[in-house]
Structure 1
Amino acid sequence: MYIQRIRVSKQTGNIVYVAAYEPGSDTFYWVHRGFIAQLINQGVPFNTRYKKGENWVTGARVEVYEGDFLRTVANGTERDNLESLPTEKV
C-alpha cells in the first residue's frame, strides 16, 4: 500500500488524513491516520510514493509511533518523507 498525499490539521500541524492506494491502482482514498495505523500494526506495509518527472517512485516505509501517529523510517532522503508529500490543510 502507498501514501501519496497528506492532509494536516490547521491547528496542530499533525497529519489527519492520508491519500492511500494499492499498487496497480490509479484511485486513491482519503483515510484517517488512525485506520492506517491499525493496518500497519496488523502487518500491512505502507510506503510513501511520489512523482519524479514522469515516473512514480516508491519512497520510505511508514511506521506508527505514540499510538496512532505516522512517520517514515529514516533513510537519509527528505523527498520521500510524509511531510514532503503534497499537503492540504484541513
Structure 2
Amino acid sequence: MREPHDDLKARADEFADAFENYDPMPGDQDAPLPPTMAVRLAAWRRDTAEKELAEAVRAAREQSVSWREVGEAIGTSGEAARQRYGASS
C-alpha cells in the first residue's frame, strides 16, 4: 500500500527536477515581482550587505585600520562606525 507521504515525496522530487533542469527563456527576468516579494528580496539584500559590511569592517580593524578610516570608507564618522561595529571587532 502506498503511504500518503510517498505522494508528497514524489511531488517534491518533481519540483526539484524541474528546478534543477530549468532553462530560462528570453524575457523570464523581465517579469515584475509581486510587491511583497520585491520587499522580501530587498530586505534579504539589505541583510546580506550589512553582514558583508560588518565582516569587512572586522577584517579592516584586524589589519589596524583606524575607526576614522573605516568611518570615511562607509560615509560616516569614525565614532559612529565604532559605535555600530565596535562590539563585533
Which category of TM-score, normalised to the shorter sequence, fits these structures? Answer: under 0.3
The structure that is helix-richer by fraction is 2
TM score, norm. by length of structure 1: 0.21
**Higher Rg of the two aligned structures:** 2
Higher relative contact order (CA 8 A, sep 6+): 1
